[in-house]
Amino acid sequence: MVLLCVVAGSVVVSRSEESAVPFERSFWLHASLGLFTQRNYFGAEFAATAMPAEIEVMNAARLLSTRYAANRLYLIYHRELPINEARTLFRRWRAACPASVEIVPALVLRMYDKAGTPVWTESELRELAAFFRDELRVTLLAIYDIASKRGDQGTGLDLLAKAFPSGMIRLGLQPDESLDPPFDRGVADTWSAFCHGRRNEEDWRQAGFGAETLRKWVEARNRGDKPVVWDLVAVAWDYSATERGGYPGYDDAEKNMPLPAGRNRAAMKLIRSTARPGLLGGFSSDLYILHENSRAAAHDGRGRSFYESLKRGEEYRGYYAGPFQEIAEIYRELCERGE
């Protein structure tokens, strides 16, 4: 199978074995591109998300698949807008993305309220599974959760696994979390290892700082037998609170800072040199957390937030643009090398 990589208007032919999973250059973000996406995620009492216009989806898909060089998009959905609207929305994404860009729906099964309330009824999950599989011809489904040690995803997980025997992906895999059936691939959350250390050589690479932690995480996954995709990071924590960039004890969207320049590239090289052959599935990046932090009043504000920039079809040039553009540059280089 031959994949085409479209970067800034040029087409690059990318190698791929017929039976192999392509080396992943992915992003995860909300299908709705909503300014606020808390409903049925942090609780049922939040306002519903507005449906984006067709042109806004087209703008976002164009940027993500060309300038930002993605070959897979994890589109998060947790009933923040009605299912009938979501069907239209996913159709728009599929139509707007080139055939070389894979669409993977990413469902949240449990809310982040105290009770861990199920997001879906079983009938709703059956309806969605049939739509994704039979109409959109989706073969892979992701379950999205970045909370630590929430292993019980409810009966809906088994239902979905039966509907998607070709593959289930654990999106937001935590460092201490095993990659168990029905998942045959994981996308690992790397935030604390990437962030730890204000400076690259003098802090991050030193003993006891982030590079050491990241290497241990990769080595731990080397003892498994399933491919892992590693998250590249734009948003770091607040470096002003500690001398060398240690964890400040909070995650505050009004105070979080951009990841230091060169950190993503250094971390990518560490991962590639440490991962056991066959187990490095590629790289991903969390655009939801980028959006949430960018819309903070102390940074870009609502009108210039990341999702809003995508909807307008404008390259993001805001507060976190440095590390995000570094990620996009890495993706373009991987694509141009046929990866």
**Is residue 72 within 8 Å of 334, Cβ to Cβ?**
no
Q: DSSP assignment, residue 89?
A: H
Tens digits of per-residue pLDDT, 245-284?
999 999 999 999 999 999 999 999 999 999 999 999 999 9
CATH number of 24-336: 3.20.20
Alpha helices of the chain — where are they, by DSSP H? 54-65, 83-96, 122-130, 155-163, 191-195, 210-222, 263-274, 287-294, 306-312, 321-336
Could you tell me which residue, 52 or 154, shows the higher pLDDT?
A: 52
Region 209-216: mean pLDDT is 98
DSSP 320-339: THHHHHHHHHHHHHHHHTT-
Region 218-238: mean pLDDT is 97
pLDDT at 155: 85
Give ∠ CA 78-323-238 in degrees, rounded to 5.
80
Pairing of strands 235-236, 257-258: antiparallel
Tens digits of per-residue pLDDT, 16-42?
333 345 799 999 999 999 999 999 999
pLDDT at 19: 32
pLDDT at 48: 93
**Is residue 236 within 8 Å of 259, Cβ to Cβ?**
yes
Q: How confident is the model at residue 2 (pLDDT cuts 50, 70, 90)?
A: very low
Tens digits of per-residue pLDDT, 270-281?
999 999 999 999
Q: Which helix (H) or strand (E) holds 237?
A: none
Dump strand ranges (E) for 166-279: 168-173, 185-188, 228-232, 235-236, 257-258
- Please provide the average confidence, as pLDDT, over all residues in the chain: 93
Could you tell me which residue, 49 or 149, shows the higher pLDDT?
A: 49
With tokens 């490095």, the residue in question is 280
pLDDT at 7: 53
pLDDT at 118: 95
* Nearest in space to 179 (alpha carbons), one of 216, 215, 143, 214: 143
pLDDT at 227 over 50: yes
Tens digits of per-residue pLDDT, 301-323?
999 999 999 999 999 999 999 99
* Nearest in space to 285 (alpha carbons), one of 323, 245, 334, 247: 323
Residue 226 Cα distances to 73, 106, 123, 170, 189, angstroms: 20, 19, 31, 11, 16
Q: Where are the domains of the chain?
A: 24-336
Distance from C-alpha of 317 to C-alpha of 336, rounded to nearest angstrom: 24
Tens digits of per-residue pLDDT, 185-212?
999 999 999 999 999 999 999 999 999 9
pLDDT at 3: 44
In the chain, % of residues over pLDDT 90: 88
Cα-only R_g, the chain: 19
**Is residue 285 within 8 Å of 306, Cβ to Cβ?**
no
Distance from C-alpha of 175 to C-alpha of 193, rounded to nearest angstrom: 10
pLDDT at 14 over 50: no
- The first and second tokens of residue 140, run together, are 């892979």
Residue 50 Cα distances to 32, 34, 86, 91, angstroms: 7, 6, 11, 16
Pairing of strands 10-14, 24-30: unpaired
pLDDT at 166: 84
Tens digits of per-residue pLDDT, 98-120?
999 999 999 999 999 988 999 99
Bridge partners (DSSP) of residue 230 are: 188, 283
* Cα-Cα-Cα-Cα dihedral sign, residues 191, 287, 109, 104: negative
Q: How confident is the model at residue 157 (pLDDT cuts 50, 70, 90)?
A: very high
pLDDT at 10: 44
